[in-house]
Chain A
Amino acid sequence: MADELPKSEKLIDVDYSPPSRGWMDTPVKIRKGMYCYAGNPKSLELLGAPNPRQWNPLDEDWKLPDNWKEIVFEGLRERIDKFRSFKVFMDICVRCGACSDKCHFFIGSGDPKNMPVLRAELIRSVYRNDFTKAGKILGRLAGARPMTLDVLKEWWYYLFQCSECRRCSLYCPYGIDTAEITIIGREILNLLGLNIDWIATPVANCYRTGNHLGIQPHAFKDMMEFFVDDIEEITGVRVEPSFNRKGAEILFITPSGDVFADPGTYTAMGYLMLFHYLKDLGLDITWSTYGSEGGNFGFFTSHETMKRLNAKMYYEAKRLGVKWILGGECGHMWRVIHQYMDTMNGPADFLEEPVNPITGTRFTNAKSTKMVHIAEFTADLIYHNKLNLDPSRNDNLRVTFHDSCNPSRGMGLLDEPRYVIQNVCKNFYEMPANTIREQTFCCGSGSGLNAGENMELRMMGGMPRANAVKFVKEKYDVNMLACVCAIDRAALPALMDYYHPEVDVTGLHEMVANALILPGEKKRTTNLRGEPLLGMEDEDAE
C-alpha cells in the first residue's frame, strides 16, 4: 500500500493511468514495506565495515562520507578490473528484454525498475558515463547518466529488491548473470556503509559466534538437547548426537535457522534421527557448536566477507580432523560452496574426497570442495536400500516441491530431493513446468531480504510461487510445500499464510524422519510436529 492518502479533491479527479516518462526521469520513491532497516552500526564496527552510523533510509541525509562519489567511482573501477565477468556484463547487454519479465519481483510488484535489465541499467548507466567513450561523449544518448545522490538511493532501493536468485540469467542469450551485478552493486554500496540490518547483524553474529543467530556453543547444545527429548517422547528412542568431537569421520554443518525456528526445527530433528539410525551402520559424524552455520550472509555483503565466513567452516573441519563435510538443507550456502568456495578458500586439500561410509559411493562431484549435500547423501542411502521406511506415516501429506533457487540453479540439485520425497511419501505432485527445477520461482525473501519490515516486498516477490502452489492446491488438494532451504522454511510459511493458509511448509528430512523406522522405536502415533498420524487420531501419545 502506498503510504500517503490522496486529498479528497484529488479523488474526484480520477486518472487511472500513471504518467508516462522514461525510467531516468522517474525519481526513486522509497516506500515503507519495500525496504529493510539500515544496518546496526555496532555490527558494522565489529566487521570493520566502512561508515558505521545510525541512518534511516527515509531521511534526506544518509550520512555519507564527503567523498562518497569518489568511493563509488573507485569501487566500480576496482571491480571492473578485478572481475572480467562484471566488465563483460556491463558491456554486452543489447537490451533484448528476454530477462525483463522473468523476475519474481517485477512480476509481483509491477515496478519496471525490477525488470532485471533495468535494475542492471541503474548501474550500467553510471558505468557508461564514467568508463566508456560513447557515454562520456554522447551522455544520455548512449544511455549514460552521472552518479547523483538520487541515483545512489535508487541503487540501494532496487539492489535490495533483488534476491540474487538468477532466474533471469537463465533466459539471457548472452549468459549475463544479473545476480552477479546485484552482488557487485551491493558490494559497492557497502563501501559507503549502505547495508541492511537483516544482513549486517547476522554476518557480525556469524563472525563472532559461528552462526547468524549469535547462538553461543552452550545454548546451541541446549537447543539440541530439547530436540533429543522431543524425539524420545515421539519415538521412544533417545538419540545421542556428538559435538565438537575430534577424529570423527564427518562434520555436519547446517543453517542455524533450523535449530531455532519452526518448521526448520523438525528438519533438524530429522537429521538427528537419520544420523542415529545410521550409527550402527557405520556413520561416524559430529556436529560443531563453532562451525554452527551453513548459511553465509557474507555472500550478500562482499566477496571478502563471504570468504571470511566460509573459511570458518573449513577451519573447523581442519581443527576436528574430519575427512569430509556433510551439509544440511540450505540455499545460498550451496551456491557459495559450489561456485565460490573452491577459488576462494579451496581446494580443501586437507580433507578427503567424500565417500558414503554406508554405501561406498564416492561423491566425485564434491572432489574439490569435500562437501556433500544431505539430499544427495540420503538419496544414495535410499537407492542402496539402506533405510527402513514406512511412507504411510506421511499419508496425511499431499506434497509439492519448491526448488530452492540456489541448489537448483546454482548447483543442479534437481532430482535428488524428488527421489527422496517419492520414497518417503506417497502423494507427490509437481507444480507447472515453468515454475520448477531450473525455472523455479524464488520464495521472495532470499539474499537477506527475509525481514519483517519489508513484508509487502516479500509477499509480492513470492506471489509467482504462491500462484503455482494455488494450481496444485486446487488440482490435487496439495497441503504441504516441501523445500531444501532454511530461508524457504522461514519465509514460505508467511507467504502461504497470506495466499493459501491451508498449505504448510516442511523440510525434506522432516518427512524422511517421519517415515524412518528406528530400531527399537515404540508405536508411533504422531509425527514430529506432535500431530496424530492418519488412523491414530484416537490414540494417546504415551
Chain B
Amino acid sequence: MGTSFKQLLSQKRSLILKEWFYLVVETYPEETAKFLKRQSDPFSNPVGRTVHKGVGDLFDELMLGLDHEKAHACLDSMIRIRALQNFTPSEAVGFVFSLKTVIQKVLGRDIAEKGLSEQVHEFESKIDELSLIAFDIYVKCREKIYEIKANEFRNRHYSAFRRAGLISEVSDDPFLK
C-alpha cells in the first residue's frame, strides 16, 4: 500500500506538473500568464522556465522523501524572483500549497476509492515542510534586498568621503593610534 500512492503520483507526473505549473503562472496577470506558458526559451522567458523546472524538481524531490538542502536549491530560484514581484509574502510562497489542490484534482477519486488518505496525509505533510523552507528563503531574499540597499548606500558615501580625505582612519603611526 505504501507505494501505491507514489505509484499513482508517478503515473500522473506529467499531468500533475502541468496543472501545478499552470496554477503558479496563473498567479500573474492573464497576459503575463499566457507568455509564461507559451515561450519555451529559458533566456527569453526566465520566469516561466524557472517555474517549469522548479516544480518538476520539487515534485521529484518530494517523491524521493525531501532532502532539505536539495529542496532549498529548487525553491530558491523561484522564490528569489517572487520575493521581488508584486506579491504579498503569502502569495509569494503560497504556490507550494497549490500542489495539494492539484493532487486532489488529479487523483482525488483514486485516493477516495483506494483509501489512500493516510499516505496522502503523509505526502501533504512533506508539502507543508516545503512551505516552511519556502518561507525561510523568502525572508532571506527580503533581508538580502535590504542588505544590498544598505551596502550600496554605505559604499557610495563612505568611499566618496574616504577618497575626498574626509575620513581619519586608524594609522600605522604608533603616536596616532
Does A pair with B? yes
A434 contact from B36, B41, B84, Cβ within 8 A: B41
What residues on B are CB-neighbors of A110 within 8 Å? 28-29, 32, 36, 47, 85-86
Q: In the bound complex, do residue B145 and residue A17 qualify as a contact, i.e. CB atoms below 8 Å apart?
A: no
Q: In the bound complex, do residue A6 and residue B86 qualify as a contact, i.e. CB atoms below 8 Å apart?
A: no
- Distance, CA A452 to CA B156, complexed state (A): 11
Q: Which of B56-64, B125-133, B158-166 contacts A (4 or more CB under 8 A)?
A: B158-166
B31 beta carbon closer than 8 Å to chain A: yes
- Distance, CA A37 to CA B36, complexed state (A): 32
In the complex, chain A residues 415-459 whose Cβ is within 8 Å of any chain B Cβ: 432, 434-435, 452-453, 455-456, 459
- Distance, CA A452 to CA B86, complexed state (A): 18
What residues on A are CB-neighbors of B164 within 8 Å? 219, 222-223
Beta-carbon contacts of B126-166 to A below 8 Å, as 1s and 0s? 00000000000000001011001101110110011001110
Count chain B residues whose beta carbon lies closer than 8 angstroms to a beta carbon of A: 49
Q: In the bound complex, do residue B94 and residue A16 qualify as a contact, i.e. CB atoms below 8 Å apart?
A: yes
Q: In the bound complex, do residue B27 and residue A109 qualify as a contact, i.e. CB atoms below 8 Å apart?
A: no
Q: Which of A365-373, A381-389, A493-501, A511-519 contacts B (4 or more CB under 8 A)?
A: A493-501
Q: In the bound complex, do residue B86 and residue A109 qualify as a contact, i.e. CB atoms below 8 Å apart?
A: yes
Quick one: given A101-B44, A111-B29, A494-B148, are A460 and B35 in contact (CB under 8 Å)?
A: no
Quick one: given A110-B32, A261-B159, are A2 and B94 in contact (CB under 8 Å)?
A: no
A274, chain B: closest CB distance, angstroms: 21
A18, chain B: closest CB distance, angstroms: 5
Beta-carbon contacts of A454-480 to B below 8 Å, as 1s and 0s? 011001100110011001000000000
Beta-carbon contacts of B34-45 to A below 8 Å, as 1s and 0s? 011001011111
Q: In the bound complex, do residue A1 and residue B83 qualify as a contact, i.e. CB atoms below 8 Å apart?
A: yes
- Distance, CA A71 to CA B174, complexed state (A): 66
Q: In the bound complex, do residue A260 and residue B163 qualify as a contact, i.e. CB atoms below 8 Å apart?
A: yes
- Distance, CA A106 to CA B36, complexed state (A): 11
- Distance, CA A432 to CA B87, complexed state (A): 30
Q: In the bound complex, do residue B43 and residue A471 qualify as a contact, i.e. CB atoms below 8 Å apart?
A: yes
Interface centre among A5, A101, A456, by most B CB within 10 Å? A101
Closest to A499 in B: B80
Interface centre among B29, B39, B80, B92, by most A CB within 10 Å? B29
B104 beta carbon closer than 8 Å to chain A: no
Closest to A454 in B: B149
User: What are 20 contact pairs spanning A and B, CB under 8 A?
Assistant: A1-B88, A18-B27, A18-B28, A107-B46, A110-B28, A110-B85, A111-B32, A112-B31, A112-B32, A222-B165, A223-B163, A261-B160, A452-B149, A452-B152, A460-B85, A463-B84, A464-B46, A494-B152, A498-B145, A498-B148
